[in-house]
Amino acid sequence: MRYLASAALIALIGTLISATAVAAPANAAAPGPKDTTAVLFSWTWNAIARECTENLGPAGYGFVQTSPPQEHVQGPEWWTYYQPVSYKIESRLGTRAEFKAMVDTCHTAGVKVIADAVINHMSGKSGGGTGWAGSSFQHYDYPGIYSSQDFHSCRRDISNYQNRTEVQECNLVNLSDLNTSSSYVQGKIAGYLNDLVSLGVDGFRIDAVKHIAASDMQGILSKVNDRARLYIVQEVIRANEPIQPEEYTSYGDIHEFAFARKLKEAFGGGTINWLVTGNGIGPSWAGFLPNQNAAVFVDNHDTERNGETLSYKDGAGYDLAQIFTLAWNYGSPSIHSGYQFSNKEAGPALAGNGEVIDPVCGQNGWTCKHAQTNIENMVGFRNTTYGTAVTNTWSNGSSAIAFGRGDKGYVAINRGGSLTRTFQTSLPAGGYCNVTVGLPTTSGCTAGGIVTVNAAGQFTATVDANQAIALHVGAKAGQGGTDPGTDPGTNPGTGDLTVYYSTSKGWTGYNVHYRVGAGAWTTAPGVGLTAACSGWVSKTITGGASGITAAFNNGSGTWDNNGGRDYALSGAVATVNGGVVGSTNPCGTTQPATTATVYYATGWASTNVHYRVGSGAWTTAPGVAMADACTGWKVKTIDLGGSTGLTAAFNNGSGTWDNNGGKDYAIGAGTVKVSNGTVTAGNPCS
């Protein structure tokens, strides 16, 4: 979408009304339970491919949304992608070949790809110019594609949003407005979308749909190939205007801006109880789309700049709004993940040739909200609870709320001061991990301790200020850290299978992709194997003793699937070495689980430890949150899984790092403290 530069337009947004005519439901919708989209705004194709493999697939995201992939005007600003010059798949985010490789890689990781499609207009350059890929153009002339006759005759900016014709035929902030009722123009637009379909995309986020007549949308989409499988989500900003979102529900989901505005009103202040009163926020509220038509968000690339919604700059309030959105049962959510900015026109970090530098979390201001622990882990919560009703609703009448999702999950959110109480859930009895801070290990949880739900479905806990607790049946303590929401087991111990895989292949990382019995496969590439003993990595699979089907890979496309037959493994122990399956523990009968309790001296309000155990994979930057220990110290206990130590760096979650002068910290098992670049043994709080 374009940046809402016009103050007049912003002033029109506010009063919510319902359209009198509601179109039939769309044919294609985000398929559950994996209906969460990570919007990687301004990310390069190569970086998205990496992120699908390392984070999005394992976390359970169903979709990733790219920025517009077509050739665009030149310039450093963020909005260049939204001024097309041609329909070549060539931009400062990457080449056509890189785009195709990204789509294929994401599919391998179990993630579908949505492309942001700009089809209402071309550029806004009055004097013309040369596009990113070398195409020459004028404001209303794009050789080989469009000439002057292919644009609407109203060649001035929209001045009256109460005039339907003007909104759909005049220019939006000088962007040359295509005559989308023309069969020729519809064919050209459909040709572009079909080209993306041929590259494997699974759907589109269509920009500025309010400015395209509904009948024109029908004409365009009727020419798009493979329409039945495509997920379409449309940007139709709800305002007190004649054109309403309900006009477009026949063609796909609609972004419900009213939802995001209400979240700002709630979490931007501190009174959030009204979000869950009665039926709660959603289709029962005036001016809200039906659940099956709604796509919801906390912010997008426009609203984080114009202040219409919350943004990453709102800190804890923003994070809690994301947690609420993923836990609530209205609409299909998208998580915006861009970069920090002070100048709202600023684009991302660029190389000298104008290309976007591949995003890396913790560098160049990338927010990486999609990979932040308390947001990313809630995707697993959503997948596990998909399709269940809201139950056991509670509030303190102002700043704290809690609710269940049937017998699958429960969340408590606190926007006020520290809160301690007993919560009533419908969860089965057992020990759970609070996924807003950690995930299951074979012996407990990576962080936050074990939350015990009794036989009556109750648990007692303290929810600190601006924090949340989220429990779900896919993250019971001791499940061993499988993909969130996909662990087929329910209780650790008897019936578990420990798989040992030889490291003779020399891979830099090892994953096991499996299913228990006839159950669902893990999301490719599976779950990580960790160092067990010299020459071996291992993974304990809950409930796997009765039999699993498995394949192994390096996380980068190289697989060992037993010559296409996969491996059939069962029993308490199974080994795989050179295609040969065994049943004797290669590391001996006892493998003591070791931990490192790390204390870090800092004055940062928020502190993360970014680490890898042994020679394993690094955590996703900025790492995992450390808890308050005593004055001046943060603490985190890390399961070493039999390894002798870890490598770590520390940061404040906002781009400030302590990586020991570039050398990182080498930390062994036991209790250690890190202060002023020095690692020593001991507990500074004892």
For residues 208 and 117, is the Cβ–Cβ distance under 8 A? Answer: no
For residues 523 and 109, is the Cβ–Cβ distance under 8 A? Answer: yes
Distance CA 72, CA 131 (A): 6
Catalytic residue among 116, 207, 241, 246: 207
Residue at token pair 């609530």: 328
For residues 217 and 248, is the Cβ–Cβ distance under 8 A? Answer: yes
Distance CA 641, CA 527 (A): 15
Render the burial of 297-316: b for 16+ CB within 10 Å, e for the rest: bbbbbbbbbbebbbbbebee
Query: Alpha-carbon torsion 476, 624, 587, 58, what sign?
Result: positive
CB atoms within 10 A of CB 187: 14
Q: Which are the contacts of 137, defined by CB distance < 8 A and separation ≥ 6? A: 85, 86, 122, 123, 125, 128, 129, 130, 131, 143
- Whose CA is closest to 262, among 14, 35, 465, 6? 14
For residues 410 and 403, is the Cβ–Cβ distance under 8 A? Answer: yes
User: What SS3 class is residue 220?
Assistant: helix
For residues 427 and 471, is the Cβ–Cβ distance under 8 A? Answer: yes
Catalytic residue among 54, 235, 314, 487: 235
Query: How many angstroms separate the first and last alpha carbons of the chain?
Result: 55
235 tagged catalytic: yes
Half-sphere exposure of 436 toward its Cβ, with a 13 Å CA cutoff?
Answer: 25
- Whose CA is closest to 389, among 368, 410, 362? 410
Distance CA 203, CA 196 (A): 9
- Whose CA is closest to 118, among 40, 66, 47? 66
358 tagged catalytic: no
For residues 481 and 440, is the Cβ–Cβ distance under 8 A? Answer: yes
Question: Catalytic positions, please?
Answer: 207, 235
